[in-house]
């Protein structure tokens, strides 16, 4: 078992964590970056749209933007451990233990765990991942060619994907639990004017079923409690995101939705524990904000060390 002390332990290897690692090297801090997945990138790995709004580099999709980041940090010195989900942390002692790998102590800890997609938590949702439950409209639209697709959600992401799937599907059914939508008016209007799109409001999905792949869903009208079965072959769930902050909620202050509260230095309420990127609820949850917060936290850590 490894035992080592670092100036900074960074948890999460999305844009915020990668930026923090770069800035540790820049400012002479010895950093350990822990990422639960097999590669760095975070949400960039599930972004299939072009990224044209991050100053300095454009990309045809998130993976290409991630590759720009990897090229840039290639020569930077920091320790990286992939496939290492942090499941236990002692924030008072500032130690992270990874089963079978080691126990690491950080002078400071930077939480960059981002957000994850909300799930429906209904029967069939786990079973049919990749078997009719789609990752995203753009890469998966051919899976529903001439078939019936169903989208759950009422925001921009749900409506954008409705448009994309309607390019190939014979029909797209959008199911939303409320009557009102949070999506942009132009997205809603174009879905309503699309003859392939049917919108069901005040409705929720109860169950997904099929033999090997998705074949049928059960939909409940929450006003009348009537339950209907519909034959569908593809499902996309876009009901928002939630912060990956469960691990820290006992020790760190959060807002009502579980996002970690930070000050202008990205410091949390516990000394030497910082939170950066989407998990800290930036006003604009973007690559630019994540990268900027990574830099802010490390600069602030460096200044604290100098003055102590």
Binding-site member from 290, 295, 297, 301 for ligand FAD (CB under 6 A) = 290
Interacting span for ligand FAD (CB under 6 A) from 47-55, 163-171, 177-185, 300-308: 47-55
Q: Is 72 helix (H, G, I), strand (E, B) or coil?
A: helix
- Does 161 participate in binding ligand FAD (rule CB under 6 A)? no
Q: Which two tokens stand for residue 60?
A: 């045809």
C-alpha span between 50 and 52 (Å, rounded): 6
- Does 254 participate in binding ligand FAD (rule CB under 6 A)? no
- Does 59 participate in binding ligand FAD (rule CB under 6 A)? no
Binding-site member from 155, 240, 258, 285 for ligand FAD (CB under 6 A) = 285
Nearer to ligand FAD, 81 or 200 (CB): 81
Nearer to ligand FAD, 155 or 210 (CB): 155
- Does 53 participate in binding ligand FAD (rule CB under 6 A)? yes
Nearer to ligand FAD, 54 or 131 (CB): 54
- Does 277 participate in binding ligand FAD (rule CB under 6 A)? yes
| Least gap, CB of 34 to ligand FAD (angstroms) | 5
- Does 110 participate in binding ligand FAD (rule CB under 6 A)? no
Nearer to ligand FAD, 136 or 166 (CB): 136
Contacts within 8 Å (CB) and 24+ apart, 179-185: 180/154, 181/154, 181/155, 182/154, 182/155, 182/156, 183/154, 183/155, 183/156, 183/158, 183/159, 184/156, 184/159
Nearer to ligand FAD, 112 or 150 (CB): 112
Interacting span for ligand FAD (CB under 6 A) from 9-17, 123-131, 143-151, 167-175: 9-17
| Least gap, CB of 217 to ligand FAD (angstroms) | 23
For residue 141, report the phi and psi dihedrals to the nearest 5 degrees: -65, -25
For residue 67, report the phi and psi dihedrals to the nearest 5 degrees: -65, -35
Q: Which helix or strand (DSSP H or E) is residue 206 part of? A: strand 203-209
Nearer to ligand FAD, 21 or 148 (CB): 21
Binding-site member from 287, 297, 298, 301 for ligand FAD (CB under 6 A) = 287
CA angle, residues 173, 43, 116, in degrees to nearest 5: 65
Helix 15-26 to helix 62-73 angle (10° resolution) is 10
Residue 57: partners with Cβ closer than 8 Å, 6 or more residues away: 65, 68
Strand ranges (E), 35-175: 79-81, 89-90, 95-98, 102-111, 115-117, 148-152, 171-175
Residue 203: partners with Cβ closer than 8 Å, 6 or more residues away: 175, 176, 177, 219, 220, 221, 222
- Does 11 participate in binding ligand FAD (rule CB under 6 A)? yes
Q: Which two tokens stand for residue 248?
A: 């820290």
- Does 237 participate in binding ligand FAD (rule CB under 6 A)? no
- Does 244 participate in binding ligand FAD (rule CB under 6 A)? yes
Q: Which residues bind ligand FAD (CB under 6 A)?
A: 11-17, 34-37, 42-44, 46-47, 49, 51, 53-54, 85-86, 112-115, 244, 247, 277-278, 285-288, 290
């Amino acid at each position: 078992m490894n035992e080592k002390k670092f100036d900074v332990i960074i948890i999460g290897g999305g844009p915020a964590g990668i930026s923090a690692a770069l800035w540790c090297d820049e400012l002479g801090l010895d950093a350990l970056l822990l990422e639960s997945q097999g590669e760095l990138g975070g949400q960039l790995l599930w972004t299939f749209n072009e990224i044209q709004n991050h100053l300095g580099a454009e990309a045809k999709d998130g993976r290409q933007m991630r590759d720009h980041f990897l090229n840039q940090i290639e020569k930077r010195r920091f320790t990286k451990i992939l496939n290492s989900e942090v499941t236990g942390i002692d924030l008072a002692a500032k130690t992270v233990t990874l089963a079978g790998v080691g126990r690491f102590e950080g002078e400071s800890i930077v939480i960059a765990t981002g957000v994850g997609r909300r799930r429906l938590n209904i029967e069939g949702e786990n079973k049919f991942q990749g078997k009719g439950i789609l990752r995203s409209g753009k890469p998966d639209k051919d899976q529903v060619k001439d078939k019936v697709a169903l989208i759950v959600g009422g925001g921009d992401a749900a409506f954008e994907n409705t448009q994309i799937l309607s390019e190939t599907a014979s029909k797209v059914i959008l199911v939303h639990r409320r009557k009102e939508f949070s999506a942009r008016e132009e997205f809603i209007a174009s879905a309503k004017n699309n003859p392939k799109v049917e919108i069901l409001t005040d409705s929720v999905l109860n169950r997904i079923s099929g033999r090997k792949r998705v074949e049928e869903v059960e939909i409940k009208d929450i006003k009348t409690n009537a339950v209907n079965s519909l034959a569908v072959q593809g499902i996309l769930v876009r009901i928002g995101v939630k912060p990956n902050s469960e691990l820290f909620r006992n020790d760190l202050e959060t807002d009502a939705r579980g996002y970690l509260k930070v000050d202008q230095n990205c410091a949390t309420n516990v000394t030497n524990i910082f939170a950066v990127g989407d998990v800290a609820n930036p006003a604009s949850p973007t690559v630019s904000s994540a990268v900027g917060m990574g830099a802010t936290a490390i600069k602030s850590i460096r200044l604290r060390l100098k003055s102590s």
